[in-house]
């Protein structure tokens, strides 16, 4: 058996959003340990330029490779939309993004062929979801809506605040007017406010959380490469068993994460990371 199976999975995001994928990995891949990096010193990513996003993503990947991971999940739509090809070409470790899985599920679910995407400004401006849908189902129409206020609210744990509800009504109205029947949560932070979104949209619009399909793709990759951990030594990793690193305040990250996930996260470590055109990690 390929001894790579004993190594960990690396994941990175701008902040707490990628924890939605860690939670899903815990469900689908209970024997796999995750090393998670949240670039909280630079959150949000949605207002960053393409070159900045590539540099930040490259720095995150380099850090995770230093930690000896066997595969990496780019758990950020903003970087997946503009940096994924660069990351795959630059690094030998397999890297999985989050765009494809969400689009594929939305295409499978839509009945009227009208799909909405809510995401950061960077993701919407990239047109990544529209391009992916064009490859899978050219007849489907995809409508994007940037939601810049959501990520800061979620990072602050204000997922049920008046501001969150007001922002949801404002952002979703144009998509409702387009007649969408399916909505892709095009930012891994957004599942934390799914209850708010459902309250605005009602039962006629299906929400797509790309975390489910992304982790399924990851599982298939691990199985195909002989890297799936089948060890009997540890059967069920819990969220507190994984390793967490952030570039900002570890206590603030831990507090926000535990409030959102309603569980203990364990230790969170701080590292210094600088994202330039090529990326640099300072330990």
**Residues annotated catalytic, as ranges:** 76, 187
Two tokens at 34? 């995750």
CB 193 within 8 A of CB 168: yes
Two tokens at 184? 């892709």
CB 74 within 8 A of CB 12: yes
Q: Looking at the DSSP assignment, which residues form a beta bridge with residue 10?
A: 35, 72
Measure the CA–CA gap between 35 and 12, rounded to whole angstroms. Answer: 9
């Amino acid at each position: 058996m390929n001894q790579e199976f004993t190594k960990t999975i690396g994941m990175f995001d701008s902040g707490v959003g990628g924890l939605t994928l860690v939670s899903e990995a815990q469900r689908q891949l209970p024997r796999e340990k995750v090393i998670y990096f949240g670039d909280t010193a630079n959150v949000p990513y949605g207002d960053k330029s393409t070159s900045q996003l590539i540099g930040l993503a490259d720095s995150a990947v380099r850090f995770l490779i230093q930690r000896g991971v066997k595969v990496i999940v780019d758990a950020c739509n903003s970087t997946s939309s503009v940096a994924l090809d660069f990351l795959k070409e630059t690094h030998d470790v397999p890297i999985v993004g989050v765009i494809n899985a969400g689009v594929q599920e939305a295409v499978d679910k839509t009945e009227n062929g009208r799909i909405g995407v809510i995401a950061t400004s960077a993701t919407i401006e990239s047109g990544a979801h529209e391009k992916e849908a064009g490859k899978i189902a050219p007849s489907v129409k995809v409508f994007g809506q940037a939601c810049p206020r959501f990520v800061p609210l979620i990072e602050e744990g204000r997922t049920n605040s008046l501001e969150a509800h007001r922002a949801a009504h404002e952002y979703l109205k144009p998509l409702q007017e387009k007649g969408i029947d399916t909505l892709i949560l095009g930012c891994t932070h957004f599942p934390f406010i799914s209850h708010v979104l459902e309250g605005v949209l009602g039962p006629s619009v299906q929400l797509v959380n790309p975390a489910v399909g992304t982790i399924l793709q990851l599982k298939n990759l691990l199985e195909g490469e002989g890297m799936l951990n089948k060890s009997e030594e540890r059967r069920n990793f819990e969220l507190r068993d994984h390793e967490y690193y952030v570039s900002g305040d570890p206590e603030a990250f831990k507090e926000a994460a535990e409030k959102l996930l309603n569980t203990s996260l364990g230790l969170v470590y701080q590292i210094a990371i600088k994202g330039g055109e090529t990326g640099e990690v300072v330990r």
